[in-house]
């Protein structure tokens, strides 16, 4: 399976090697498709207004980095409407994915998943055990 189909979602100006410290991760289930990934990224950026860039993973494997600026430039209609700054409310009910936000209690690892992910709880890549689900 090639990662090329995800290229359209990735900011080519942001190489994933080496991975920047402290950058949040969006970890999608194995086999997640590119249009599903686009919807999940929209949900993530819409519900975390301070987030500017994120590592996209599928099945725990890094496919690259994408940014709010890049996706907005791509013409994402949802993100663009938020960027208008006209005080519009979040179109929460129209989002396909609820984002689950995890955080390591011991370091700055942040990881996001979609609510349809059936895998077991994510673990800190730095060996701190299970990540905590943020409420
Ligand atoms: Zn940790």
Residues 84-114: tens digit of each pLDDT: 544 445 554 568 899 999 999 999 999 999 9
C-alpha of residue 38 to centroid of ligand 1, in Å = 27
Q: Summarize pLDDT for 1-35 with one digit per residue, the tens.
A: 456 689 989 999 999 888 888 899 999 999 999 98
Q: Are 72 and 85 in contact (CB under 8 A)?
A: no
58 within 8 A of 30, measured Cβ to Cβ: yes
Starting at the edge strand found earlier in the chain, the sheet holding 61-67 runs 61-67, 53-58, 25-28, 110-114, 99-103, 132-133
pLDDT in tens, 47-57: 999 999 999 99
Cis peptide before 37 (omega within 30 of 0): no
* Distance from residue 133's CA to the centre of ligand 1 (Å): 13
Q: What is the pTM of this model?
A: 0.85
Q: What confidence score (pLDDT) does residue 4 get? A: 67
In contact, 52 and 81? CB cutoff 8 Å: no
Q: For 2-6, 36-40, 45-49, 126-130, which range has the lowest pLDDT when averaged over its residues?
A: 2-6
Residue-wise over 123-134: b if at least 16 C-beta within 10 A, else e? ebeeeeeebeee
CA of 22 to the centre of ligand 1 (A): 11
Distance 128 CA to ligand 1 centre (A): 5
Q: What is the pLDDT of residue 95?
A: 80
State the Cα–Cα distance between residues 66 and 56, nearest whole angstrom.
7
CA distance linking residue 57 with residue 96, whole number of Å: 18
How close is the Cα of 102 to the center of ligand 1, in Å?
11
- How many angstroms separate the alpha carbon of residue 103 from the centre of ligand 1? 8
């Amino acid at each position: 399976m090639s990662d090329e189909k995800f290229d359209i979602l990735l900011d080519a100006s942001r190489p994933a090697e080496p991975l920047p410290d402290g950058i949040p991760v969006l970890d999608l289930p194995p086999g997640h498709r590119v249009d599903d990934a686009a919807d999940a990224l929209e949900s993530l950026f819409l519900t975390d207004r301070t987030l500017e860039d994120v590592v996209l993973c599928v099945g725990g494997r890094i496919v690259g980095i994408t940014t709010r600026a890049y996706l907005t430039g791509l013409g994402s209609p949802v993100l663009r409407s938020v960027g208008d700054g006209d005080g519009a409310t979040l179109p929460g009910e129209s989002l396909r994915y609820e984002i689950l936000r995890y955080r390591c209690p011991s370091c700055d690892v942040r990881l996001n998943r979609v609510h349809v992910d059936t895998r077991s709880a994510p673990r800190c890549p730095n060996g701190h055990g299970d990540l905590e689900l943020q409420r």
